[in-house]
Structure 1
């Protein structure tokens, strides 16, 4: 006879995994979707496959780590306690996804487990301290690397890559032979095709990394309690993640791909390379990587860096308009920029080269969206931690 408590635990674990799919697909494929490279449906499919591969290969190690290192005594992961922890992880992630601001699954899961550890006196303060330190340092590193690239290197990168979306489909299917085969679209350039492969490939790598680190957030408590085996847990969690990637993730992809700024392909590649590199480095040293926050701050940092080269100097000098900072610079792939004049060149000449007009308001950096994203990514894990701690303190060990 099936234990009703186990059934309830599996339902909640699937709910958590569903929200993980919604929260992590945006950071991985938001840049590609925002650049118009792939559709949200294709992004969800790629996320599903790559997540499972990461979970099945490397993720099983993270499942063991999450259940053994954060708390000194893994025996605290009883089946009822595991269900309570999963409940707070899933509830906190749902809040983030409904708001359209993707929450960090790693931070939320660690927070909920930390609440259990604090309530039972089994939290390993050294381990949690190291994790928190890297969570503070890594977004700062990502942000300033993106700012420097946006301010000083983006123009050079853009000229080298020179990728712009052409009219018509990127890839077509030719059915003249015995088997249908993909072929470049009628207006697709070689550089555009290569750039598309690069940005989608990096998204797949991030999805693989997400599977390696995030499947533990959904199934580690149940596997640690011995209620579910490792392999069945990975399969169940990955299927639920796929469901989230194909449904609720559409809103988070919209937030990271369009609401903050409309990314051209060059910017999407830069963001993906920066964020995935930082995530891989953190994973290599055993830190649960919060690539939700890293990807977000890289998008903002790159936009801010680019915007410093879009100040209408001549208009400001003549009093026609005040200088404005615009992340809309990201939306103008290859567009001339307005900066300091070269020797012998006047501000009027510089303004003329860049038209001297501020970008349209629709291309301006949206501070309200960015603040909402950053706040929710910090509030959601705090809610999970506090809720889990209070539950175990008030109710006692279960």
Structure 2
């Protein structure tokens, strides 16, 4: 017969997985949804499949080591402490998802486990310091790389890629046969299909990467107390899928539409920059702050394109010019010469407000710091009470 605490642990673990699905689907597929390549349902389906693939393969290593490296005493994980840690991970993530802002599951989970380590005196501060250092550096790198691309390289990339969004659907279902077959829309170009395939493929890579690291955030505490890993991965993957199909709709809106208007070329830039950084961090064994890196890449690209338009409006003809509201970066044609900053026609530059929303960005950055803080402080206080420190 299952102990009540173990049942509670399973319930909270599923709740954490549900919120991971809500928090990570937006960064992975928000650019593709925002640029009109995928529907929210298709994004959720791809997220579910590739997250599970990452969890079932590489994710096992992260599950096995999370409790061993961050906390020096594996015996500190009991049914009671595991349920408490999972409760604060899931509760904090739910706050971010409810606000429509995806929070870092790695930061939230590591914060809760660190609270357990501090309260029990088993936290490895050297490991914690290395993780936190990369958490600070990686989003800054993502922001500035994307910002430089948006300010200096975006028009040239857009002309070469030439993946402007055409009118009408990108894909249609051909129902003439026994099995519906997806086909290109009536106005879809071959370049657009290729660009769409790239951005969807990179989104799938990001979903896979998320599975390799984030599955541990939902199930590692229960694995530490002896629950079989295969069962936990299956249950965790199912919970992530439910979150991707439900609560992730809010984060897809935030990262796909509210922060910055993403044409297909911009979606590709964001996906390449953020996925490269996430894979690099995973290669050196750092639990990547997946959501923060992807979000700051989106913010950086929007900021870079916005400051480019500001430079143009102030530099053309030596006086300030009114900003324009045309989607100029998506209207560029292949083969045209790329002008230097300050030499463009103002009608070829997008309006700053169309590319970068400071109020939404501020809300995102605020919540992405508040959510891990809630998890860390809440868990620390709870474990202090549990161990009799308070």
2:215 is matched with 215
Q: Helix, strand or coil for the counterpart of 2:211?
A: helix
C-alpha distance in 2 between matches for 1:70 and 1:6: 23
1:355 aligns with 2:354: no
Q: CA deviation at 1:182?
A: 2.6
Q: Do the aligned partners of 2:327 and 2:349 also contact (CA within 8 Å) in 1?
A: no
Q: CA deviation at 1:397?
A: 7.2
**Out of 321, 333, 342, which is 1:340 matched to?**
342
2:172 is matched with 172
Q: Helix, strand or coil for the counterpart of 1:163?
A: coil
Q: Please tell me the root mean square deviation across aligned C-alpha atoms, in Å.
A: 2.2
Query: What is the number of residues matched between the two proteins?
Result: 382
Q: Helix, strand or coil for the counterpart of 1:60?
A: helix
Superposition pairs for residues 210-359 of structure 1, below 5 Å?
A: 210-226=210-226, 228-311=227-310, 312-313=313-314, 317-318=318-319, 332-335=329-332, 339-341=341-343, 350=344, 353-355=345-347, 359=351
Q: Helix, strand or coil for the counterpart of 2:127?
A: helix
**Out of 375, 379, 382, which is 2:373 matched to?**
382
Q: CA deviation at 1:314?
A: 6.5
Q: CA deviation at 1:172?
A: 2.3
Q: CA deviation at 1:320?
A: 6.5
Instruction: Could you tell me which runs of 5 or more consecutive residues in structure 2 were left unpaired when the two chains were aligned.
Output: 333-337
Q: CA deviation at 1:359?
A: 2.3
Q: Do the aligned partners of 2:328 and 2:349 also contact (CA within 8 Å) in 1?
A: no
Q: Do the aligned partners of 1:101 and 1:255 also contact (CA within 8 Å) in 2?
A: yes
Q: Helix, strand or coil for the counterpart of 2:20?
A: helix
C-alpha distance in 1 between matches for 2:51 and 2:21: 9
1:183 is matched with 183
Q: Do the aligned partners of 1:171 and 1:182 also contact (CA within 8 Å) in 2?
A: yes
Superposition pairs for residues 121-132 of structure 1, below 5 Å?
A: 121-132=121-132
CA, structure 1 residues 164+319, in 2 after alignment: closer, same or farther (shift >3 Å)?
Answer: closer
Q: Helix, strand or coil for the counterpart of 1:173?
A: strand
1:91 is matched with 91
Q: State TM-score, norm by structure 2.
A: 0.92
Q: Do the aligned partners of 1:262 and 1:330 also contact (CA within 8 Å) in 2?
A: no
Q: State TM-score, norm by structure 1.
A: 0.91
C-alpha distance in 2 between matches for 1:126 and 1:144: 28
Q: Helix, strand or coil for the counterpart of 1:168?
A: coil
Q: Helix, strand or coil for the counterpart of 2:182?
A: strand
| Higher alpha-carbon deviation: 305-314 or 199-208 | 305-314
